[in-house]
Amino acid sequence: MPLRIFPTPQDAETAFYEALERADLELMMAVWSEDEEIVCVHPGGPRLAGQDQVRESWRQIFAGGARSRLHVTQQVAISGTMVAVHSVHENFSRTGEARPMQAVVATNVYVRTASGWRMVAHHGSPAPGTAEPPPPAAKILH
């Protein structure tokens, strides 16, 4: 696969979520830095470090075969000259199902390299459920 160039952190992030939605392992790994100092934490999972562990985790996820639709919301982006940090909500739903699955809160870290922007860290955690509204206060009539 030819080297993909991501001119901005947002370009790398767009490719990351495209790869995730399409279950495309080669595109997924094209987004990641080629350094061994990469880190990935999937929701509820252990910390994975290095190319081999990160690649194997995505291979296993994509091998499951279940396709998901993905809608990214609430992006907060902090960008500098060499590093960008994005915090997002990942809203998944299974193809053909109307009901959304639990959302994931994710932090993605990108660094600027000689070959464009690359991901060095992805950390996903289950988003807290929406809190139930408190019961209405009891009215006491005298």
| pLDDT tens sequence across 55-90 | 999 999 999 776 677 778 888 999 999 999 999 999
**More reliable by pLDDT, 131 or 58:** 58
Average pLDDT of the chain is 85
The candidate with the shortest Cα–Cα distance to 14, out of 72, 89, 66, is: 72
Distance between start and end Cα atoms, the chain: 78
* Separation in Å, CA 117 to CA 82, 111, 114: 9, 6, 8
Rounded CA separation 43/45 (Å): 5
For residue 140, tell me if it sits in a domain: no
Instruction: Give the pLDDT band of residue 3 (cuts 50, 70, 90).
Output: confident
In a domain, 56, yes or no: yes
- 98 has a pLDDT exceeding 70: no
Q: Could you tell me which residues come within 8 angstroms of residue 59 by beta carbon, excluding any fewer than 6 positions away?
A: 25
| Whole-number percent of the chain with pLDDT over 90 | 64
The answer to whether residue 118 scores a pLDDT higher than 60 is yes
In a domain, 109, yes or no: yes
What is the CATH classification number for the domain harbouring 77? 3.10.450.50
Q: Is residue 2 part of a domain?
A: no
Residue 13: CB atoms within 10 A of its CB come to: 22
Domain contains 23 = yes
Burial of 65 (0-12, 13-18, 19+ CB in 10 A): exposed
DSSP state of 32: B
- Under DSSP, is residue 47 helix (H, G, I), strand (E, B) or coil? strand
Q: Is there a domain that residue 33 lies in?
A: yes
3-state DSSP call for residue 131? coil
Enter the pTM of the model: 0.82
What pLDDT does 129 receive? 67
Tell me the pairing of strands 104-113 and 116-126. Answer: antiparallel
Structure confidence at residue 103 (pLDDT): 86
Q: Which domain holds residue 67?
A: 9-126
Residue 118 lies in a domain: yes
pLDDT reading at 37 higher than 80: yes
All residues at 6 or more sequence positions from 70 whose CB lies less than 8 Å from its CB, including other chains: 17, 20, 21, 90, 91, 92
Per-residue pLDDT, 72: 82
Number of structural domains found in the chain: 1
